[in-house]
Amino acid sequence: MLELHRVDAEQYSHIEKLPITVVLDNVRSEMNVGSVFRTADAFLIERICLCGITAVPPKPEIHKTALGAEDTVPWSHHDTVMDAITELRAAGYRICSVEQVHGSISLEQFTTQPGERLAIILGNEVKGVAQEAVDASDCCIEIPQYGTKHSLNIANTAAIVMWQLFRDHIR
C-alpha cells in the first residue's frame, strides 16, 4: 500500500470527502452496484443511496467488484428514489439525474459552485432513472455519445460522471 501511495480503510475514513452523493435507482446488477462503490471510494464520494430493488451489502457479487469499498463508502437504503430525493433536498442537495432528456446539460458543460452539495441519480439498466425522479430533479446531465449506441453501462456512466465531478472539485 505504501508503494502505491494508498491509504488504509482507517486513514480513508478521516479524509475529507467531496459533497457528492450517488443515488442508485433500482439498479438490478449487484456487480454494477459493487463497481459504483469502488469508483466512489476512488474519487472520495461522501456516500451512496441505494434505492428500491438495488442490492445492499453484504452480497458476494457486490464484494466481487467493490473489493471492500462497500466497507469504506457510507451507504443507506431507501424504499424509493423519491424517499432519497426528499431526504437529500431537505439537507440542501442539488438533485441531478443522469439521463438523456430534452434540456439536459452535457457533462462537460455542467458546473457546480464551491461547496455545493450534489446528488447524482443513476437509474435502472433498462428503464433508466424513474420519470418521477427526473421530474423532481433540479437538472439532468448527459454524457455526449457519438456512436450507434446511445447508452452506457451504469457502472461506466457512474465512473465517467464521478471522475468529471472529482476533477471539477480538485481544480
For 111-152, the pLDDT digits (tens) are 998 889 999 999 999 999 999 999 999 999 999 999 999 899
Q: Is the pLDDT of residue 2 over 70?
A: no
Predicted structure pTM score:
0.96
Question: Are 155 and 54 spatial neighbours (Cβ–Cβ below 8 Å)?
Answer: no
Say whether 112 sits in a helix, a strand or coil: coil
Domain annotation for the chain: domains and CATH numbers:
9-170 (3.40.1280.10)
Task: Provide CB contacts within 8 A for 25, sequence distance 6+.
Answer: 51, 52, 54, 81, 121, 122, 123, 124, 129, 130, 133
The tens digit of pLDDT for each residue in 24-61 reads 999 999 999 999 999 999 999 999 999 999 999 999 99
The C-alpha cell at 33 is 452496484
Please name the residue ranges forming H helices in 8-47. Answer: 9-14, 30-42
